[in-house]
Amino acid sequence: MEWKHVTSSRTKKAKASRSVQRREIVSIHIGQAGVQIGNACWELYCLEHGIQLDGQRSSGPSVVGGGDDSFHTFFSETVSGKHVPRAVFVDADSPVNAIRNGPCRQLFDDQLLVSGRESSVVFSTGRKTICTDLPEDSLEGIKKVTDQCSSLQGFLVFHGVGGGTGSGFTSLLMEHLSDIYGDKMKLAFSVYPTPQLSDEIIAPYNATLSTRSLLQYSDAAFVIDNEAVYNMSCNLIRGRPTFANLNNVIAQIISSVTLPLRSQGTLNVDLKEIQTNLVPHPRIKFPVASYAPIIKRGGVEAPSVSDMTNACFNPNNQMVRCDPNRATFMACCLQYRGNIDSKDVNNAIQSLNAKGTARFSNWCPRNFKVGINAQAPSASVGSDLAEVKREVCMLSNNTGIAEVWARLSRKFDLMYAKRAYLHHFERDGMDRKWFDEAREDLASLEEDYKKIDAGSFDPTS
Average pLDDT for 192-217: 90
Is residue 15 very low, low, confident or very high in pLDDT (cuts 50, 70, 90)?
A: very low
**Dist. CA 261–CA 50, nearest whole Å:** 17
| pLDDT for the residue 300 | 72
| pLDDT for the residue 20 | 45
Q: What is the CATH number of domain 404-451?
A: 1.10.287.600
pLDDT digits (tens, 9 = 90+) for 130-174: 767 889 999 999 999 999 999 999 999 999 999 999 999 999 999
Fold of domain 2-403: Rossmann fold (3.40.50)
pLDDT digits (tens, 9 = 90+) for 302-325: 689 999 999 999 999 999 999 999
| pLDDT for the residue 416 | 97
pLDDT digits (tens, 9 = 90+) for 388-436: 999 999 999 999 999 999 999 999 999 999 999 999 999 999 999 999 9
Query: pTM, whole model, 2 decimals?
Result: 0.93
| Residue 3, pLDDT above cutoff 90 | no
| Residue 103, pLDDT above cutoff 80 | yes
| Residue 84, pLDDT above cutoff 80 | yes
Is residue 117 very low, low, confident or very high in pLDDT (cuts 50, 70, 90)?
A: confident
Residue 87 amino acid letter = A
**Dist. CA 21–CA 229, nearest whole Å:** 34
Q: How many CB atoms lie within 10 A of CB 272?
A: 14
Average pLDDT, whole number, for the chain? Answer: 89
| CB-neighbour burial class of residue 52 (10 A; exposed 0-12, middle 13-18, buried 19+) | middle
> 116 versus 361: which is more confidently predicted?
361
Q: What are the backbone angles phi and psi of residue 57, rounded to the nearest 5°?
A: -110, 135
Average pLDDT for 176-189: 96
**Catalytic annotation present for 403:** no
The catalytically annotated residue of 24, 273, 391, 426 is: 273
Angle CA(390)–CA(395)–CA(398) in degrees, nearest 5? 140
Residue 393 amino acid letter = C
| pLDDT for the residue 143 | 98
| pLDDT for the residue 6 | 40
pLDDT digits (tens, 9 = 90+) for 42-55: 999 999 999 999 99
| pLDDT for the residue 409 | 96
Residue-range domain boundaries for the chain: 2-403, 404-451
| pLDDT for the residue 317 | 96
Range from 25-34, 115-124, 230-239, 350-359 carrying the lowest mean pLDDT: 115-124
Judge contact between 387 and 28, C-beta under 8 A. Answer: no
Length of the chain: 461
